């Protein structure tokens, strides 16, 4: 069984994970999707869970690019990307791009959404 933990409050993340879920269902790939409300079951708080993409497969936890690669390798139409991002040189660049650019940018947007929601609740 493959499980995904993602920031379901992020519109970009939610659309991407929904596409993975549809593809998994069509391909008969068992995939369980958890959002931030399930973070404690993963041993995380919501804030930590919102910082990066995680996939658990066969009891092993993978984060960031390696989590994406594990998921992509199981989904038809994405296997090529798992192979490409596993190549020497490309893996390092893609991993740094995710860890230092994409993940922090998505997390910053998450924090802005949370601050706006908190202000809206306080009004």
Please state the pTM of the whole predicted model: 0.91
User: Where does the pLDDT of residue 72 fall: very low under 50, low under 70, confident under 90, or very high at 90 and above?
Assistant: very high
Name the residue range of residue 13's domain.
2-122
Question: What is the arithmetic mean of pLDDT over 11-16?
Answer: 96
Mean pLDDT throughout 111-117?
91
pLDDT at residue 117, rounded to an integer: 87
Quick check: helix, strand or coil at residue 36?
Answer: helix
Beta strands in the chain, from DSSP E residues, in sequence order: 2-5, 31-34, 54-57, 60-63
Q: What local confidence, expressed as pLDDT, does residue 121 receive?
A: 57
Q: Provide the number of structural domains found in the chain.
A: 1
Computed on alpha carbons and rounded to an integer, the radius of gyration of the chain in Å comes to 15
Split at pLDDT 50, 70, 90, the class of 96 is: very high
């Amino acid at each position: 069984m493959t499980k995904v933990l993602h920031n379901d409050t992020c519109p970009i993340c939610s659309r991407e994970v929904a596409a993975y879920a549809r593809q998994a269902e069509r391909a008969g790939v068992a995939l369980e999707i958890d959002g931030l409300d399930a973070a404690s079951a993963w041993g995380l708080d919501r804030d930590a869970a919102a910082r990066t993409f995680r996939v658990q497969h066969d009891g092993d936890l993978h984060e960031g690019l390696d989590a994406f690669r594990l998921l992509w390798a199981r989904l038809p139409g994405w296997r090529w990307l798992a192979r490409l991002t596993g190549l020497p040189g490309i893996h390092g660049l893609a991993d740094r791009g995710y860890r230092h650019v994409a993940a922090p940018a998505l997390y910053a947007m998450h924090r802005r959404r949370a601050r706006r929601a908190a202000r809206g609740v306080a009004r």
